[in-house]
A and B are shown apart, each in its own frame.
Chain A
């Protein structure tokens, strides 16, 4: 499970963190703009990365632009440190930047994530980098890019609630479970990337800086520390996060986001924490 021993040494053939310095400057300029206007999608000159779109190219470019030699990087994929996407991106930056990597959430200075926010509360000074497939929250209802930009510019967000209305009309409750739209700083509607809505409350007033990068769409956006982030809802159908009747089969946590595992052909289920480091940490504490 722990691949720390196999982390390669820095390969001097690459510039630090793979991207060239001018590209990193360009992305940093876009990031500054994004931080200055919370929730606003800033276009940037997305580069070709040595892995396919959809594998986190947007997040990787942001990580490459902000990494310093002293940074400690954690990469998670659906909460897990040891899945393909997480392992390959962690190895990529260990090899191209020679930086330290970790699985421990509190030790990391930069956390690149695919679709989860760690259970362990984030601290001031930490940076979360999200991999975003579709940055435009209005896209599902308005296919035109010109039109969605005008809607953002004019604060014309009536259609956002149409989706939620449809959910209630069809399912009796708001059935959107991930990529649940949020309002950032009472101004911009933002797609928080496909994190489960369980994680939405963690965005609100977070002490950590949140950066979002979409590689294919070449857009990035940000939520600065201590920014108000509220999930859209109706007065009579307020925003709610998922709840489970089970606790984690490994560590017994009642608070964490659980993954359902099917154990055999008879459909026996088991529920375990999606955040592997959090789970392992709890097991360690319980054994002491």
Chain B
């Protein structure tokens, strides 16, 4: 087995007693999808913000192994390094695509932004990447010059995914990527995501409260409750044989059609 991509040790940020997250440790390997599940207020999103370098922790460390194989301590690195990482080797898919997209510029410009930030100065190349990625996320390439606000919710979410994946990241964070979508659109997006994750060998940390999403996408699950990780393990293992009482409650509360 190769070396881990992300090494998290004793990560803590508390807003109050049991509010936030504390004592989180895990390793994430290349190509692995880690799901974080739990109820609202259990600290899932806080953990994701800490992991993605958006919120400095009160204690603990995050190590990231870069493309060159060097270990980088996320929060002792400079802000410039963190930002570079976030727009090259990392991606972040927001729950609400309006937060992750530039709504005032066309779909093509949204996809090209990361490339431009990396110094691509050829219009043809940017255009090509835009058309290519619209195709990959199943949006009609003819809509490359349309504003994202003319897109449906599902299309906006797919555009956001394309915008993140264009720089071929190695690690993508997703915060409830299917949150605001109806069931059929959700299914299609999940299908697409699963394909892309396997094809590009992405490591993904995905936060969700939807166990169905977790089962479809995640290799491994972390169950959070009241700021702590109460159970971790392979997805099937947790969903089929939950050990912690809260996991059991979570699994049993899924509606069976």
Contacts and interface: CB of A to CB of B under 8 A. Distances in A.
Interface of A: 141, 150, 154-159, 161-163, 165-166, 168-170, 233-237
B253 interface: no
Nearest to B119: A158
B79 A154 contact: yes
B116 A162 contact: yes
Contact of A159 (B80, B83, B117): B117
Nearest to A151: B83
Nearest to B124: A236
Interface in B76-130: 79-80, 83, 87, 102, 104-106, 108-109, 112-114, 116-118, 121-124, 126-127
Q: Closest 6 CB pairs between A and B?
A: A158-B117, A161-B116, A234-B123, A154-B80, A158-B116, A235-B122
Given A161-B116, A162-B112, 15 more contacts: A154-B83, A156-B80, A158-B87, A158-B116, A158-B118, A161-B121, A162-B102, A166-B106, A169-B106, A169-B108, A170-B145, A233-B121, A236-B122, A236-B124, A237-B123
Contact of A162 (B80, B113, B127): B113
Secondary structure at chain B's binding surface: helix, strand, loop or mixed? helix
Nearest to B114: A158
Contacts, number: 61
Interface in B197-249: none
17 contacts: A150-B79, A154-B79, A156-B83, A158-B118, A161-B116, A161-B121, A162-B112, A162-B116, A163-B105, A165-B116, A165-B123, A166-B106, A169-B144, A169-B145, A234-B123, A235-B123, A237-B123
Nearest to B81: A154
Contacts of B109: 162, 165-166, 169
Nearest to B144: A169
A141 B104 contact: yes
B163 to A, nearest CB: 12
A234 B121 contact: yes
A234 B116 CA distance: 10
Residue among B83, B106, B109 with max Cβ neighbours from chain A (10 Å): B109
A162 B105 contact: yes
Interface of B: 79-80, 83, 87, 102, 104-106, 108-109, 112-114, 116-118, 121-124, 126-127, 144-145
Contacts of B113: 158-159, 162
Contacts of B105: 141, 162-163, 165-166
A237 B121 CA distance: 9
Contacts of A159: 102, 113, 116-117
A155 B80 CA distance: 9
A150 B145 CA distance: 29
B168 to A, nearest CB: 16
Nearest to A150: B79
A165 B126 contact: yes
Contacts of A154: 79-80, 83
A55 B81 CA distance: 42
Contact of B122 (A155, A157, A163, A234): A234
Contacts of B112: 162, 165
A165 B108 contact: yes
A162 B106 CA distance: 9
A148 B80 CA distance: 14
B123 A236 contact: yes
A112 B118 CA distance: 38
A246 to B, nearest CB: 30
B166 to A, nearest CB: 12
Contacts of B122: 234-236
Nearest to A169: B145
Contacts of B83: 154, 156
Contacts of B117: 156-159
A17 B127 CA distance: 54
Nearest to A233: B121
B102 A168 contact: no
A157 B123 CA distance: 17
Contacts of A163: 105
B59 to A, nearest CB: 25
A165 B128 CA distance: 13
A86 B154 CA distance: 55
